[in-house]
Amino acid sequence: MSRAGATGKPARRHKAGQAAGGDEERRPALAELLAGGAFAGIALVGMTSLANNEYLELGRTGSDPGPGFVPWIALTVLLIGGVGHILIVLRRALVHGGFRAADGGFSPARLWMPGLMLLSLVAYQAALRPFGFLSASIAFAIVWVVILHWRSGEGLCARHVVQLPAEGVALAVGVYLIFRHGIQVPLP
């Protein structure tokens, strides 16, 4: 039995307990392949970094196993485990006749809003130094209070034109006051 098969035992036990329905239920989702791929990918990136680190071996003195010791072990297990997971998922797909139909977890309809949020957070972070914490936060808060209000499906009435921006400003100013003046955090 391969190493991957041996380590995969707990996973199979778990899945077996979960699958109660028909064959479709027993089929793995495509997303499960991604999980294995992610681990293997991270391991490879980390290994490249370790292998190209010219300084690491300089640090070994005496009986110290060195700064690369634990990372190499961890990444090797991660790589084997990631590839092993892919193999297990493929085997299950083979046994049960293909992959489960996608459940829409990765459809653009669900991903666009989180994606937009991540992008706007990166922009917010980048704006903190040039524009200062207060202005950047107010802008971010107003925009997102409005978007989330729209997203909650409640209608827009006249008072919202004032209320929503006011909520955004209040949030940003409140956090600013507490952190900057309450606890003297040197916010940019």
In the region spanning residues 20 to 39, those forming contacts with other proteins, defined by CB under 8 A, are 29, 31-32, 34-35, 38-39
Q: Is residue 141 a contact partner of residue 172, using CB atoms and an 8 Å limit?
A: yes
Does residue 67 sit in helix, strand or coil?
coil
Site membership for other proteins, residue 181 (CB under 8 A): no
Smallest distance from the beta carbon of 174 to other proteins, in angstroms? 8
Q: Between residue 144 and residue 163, which ones bind other proteins under the rule CB under 8 A? A: 144-145, 148-149, 151-154
Decide if residue 14 touches other proteins (CB under 8 A): yes
Is residue 168 packed enough to be buried (19+ CB in 10 Å), middle (13-18) or exposed (0-12)?
buried
- CA pair distance 149, 140, nearest whole angstrom: 14
Q: Could you give the string, one character per residue 85-124, with x where binding to other proteins holds by CB under 8 A and - elsewhere?
A: x-------------------xx---xx-xx--xx--xx-x
For residues 142 and 169, the answer to whether their CB atoms sit within 8 Å is yes
| Closest CB 142 distance from other proteins, rounded Å | 9
134 binds other proteins (CB under 8 A): no
Asked whether position 8 contacts other proteins by CB under 8 A, the answer is: yes
75 counts as binding other proteins under rule CB under 8 A: yes
- Residue 34, Cα to own-chain centre: how many angstroms? 13
Distance CA 154, CA 113 (A): 18
